[in-house]
Amino acid sequence: MADKLTYPQIQDYLTNLVPVRPAEVQEMEAYAHDHQFPIIGPVAGQMCYQIARMIGARRIFELGSGYGYSTAWFAKAVQENGGGEVHHVVWDQKLSQLARQHLDQLGYTHLIHYHVAEAVTTLRQTTGLFDLIFNDIDKDGYPASLPVIAAKLRPGGVLIIDNMLWGGDIFDETNQSDDTKGVREFTRLITTDPGWVTTLVPIRDGLIVAFKK
Ligand SMILES: C[S@@+](CC[C@H](N)C(=O)[O-])C[C@H]1O[C@@H](n2cnc3c(N)ncnc32)[C@H](O)[C@@H]1O
Strand order in the sheet with 196-201: 112-116, 85-90, 59-63, 130-135, 153-161, 207-212, 196-201
Q: For residue 4, what pLDDT is reported?
A: 61
- pLDDT value, residue 55: 98
The predicted structure's pLDDT at residue 119:
98
pLDDT of amino acid 38: 98
DSSP-derived letter for residue 21 is: P
Q: Which of 21, 30, 8 is nearest to 49 (CA)?
A: 21
Q: Looking at the predicted structure, is the pLDDT value of residue 3 above 60? A: no
Q: Give yes or no for residue 61 having a pLDDT over 80.
A: yes
Q: Look at ligand 1, atom 3, and give the residue with the nearest C-alpha.
A: 66
CA of 55 to the centre of ligand 1 (A): 25
pLDDT band at 101 (very low <50, low <70, confident <90, very high): very high
Query: What is the whole-number distance in angstroms between the Cα of residue 203 and the centre of ligand 1?
Result: 19
Burial class (CB in 10 A: 0-12, 13-18, 19+), 125: exposed
Amino acid present at 84: G
**Quick one: angle between helices 69-80 and 93-105, nearest 10?**
40
* Contacts with 165 (C-beta within 8 Å, 6 or more apart), sequence order: 2, 5, 200, 202, 205, 206
Beta bridge partners of 61: 87, 133
Provide the terminal-to-terminal Cα distance of the chain, rounded to the nearest Å. 33
pLDDT tens track for 122-148: 999 999 999 999 999 999 999 999 999
> What is the Å distance from ligand 1's center to 137 Cα?
5
Name the closest-CA residue to atom 13, ligand 1.
64
Pocket residues for ligand 1 (CB within 6 Å)?
38-40, 64-66, 69-70, 89-92, 95, 118-119, 136-138, 141
Q: Which residue lies with its CA nearest to atom 24 of ligand 1?
A: 64
Average pLDDT over residues 88-99: 98
Q: What percentage of the chain has pLDDT greater than the value 70? A: 98
Q: How many CA atoms lie within 13 A of 72 on its CB side?
A: 30
Q: Ligand 1: which residue has its CA nearest to atom 17?
A: 137
Confidence of residue 2 (pLDDT cuts 50, 70, 90): low
pLDDT of residue 206: 96
pTM of the model: 0.97
Our mutation pick for probing the ligand 1 site, out of 29, 65, 140, 162, counting the most ligand atoms within 8 A of Cβ, is: 65
Give CA–CA dist 144/123, Å, rounded.
12
Average pLDDT, the chain: 96
Quick one: what percent of the chain has pLDDT higher than 90?
A: 94
- Mean pLDDT, residues 179-185 taken together: 98
Q: What is the average pLDDT across 31-38?
A: 98
Query: For residues 159 and 147, is the Cβ–Cβ distance under 8 A?
Result: no
Minimal-distance CA residue to ligand 1 atom 7:
39
The angle, 0 to 180 degrees and rounded to 10, between the axes of the packed helices 23-35 and 41-54 is 130
Question: Would you state the pLDDT for residue 120?
Answer: 98
Whether the predicted pLDDT of 1 surpasses 80: no
Q: Quick check: 9 pLDDT over 90?
A: no
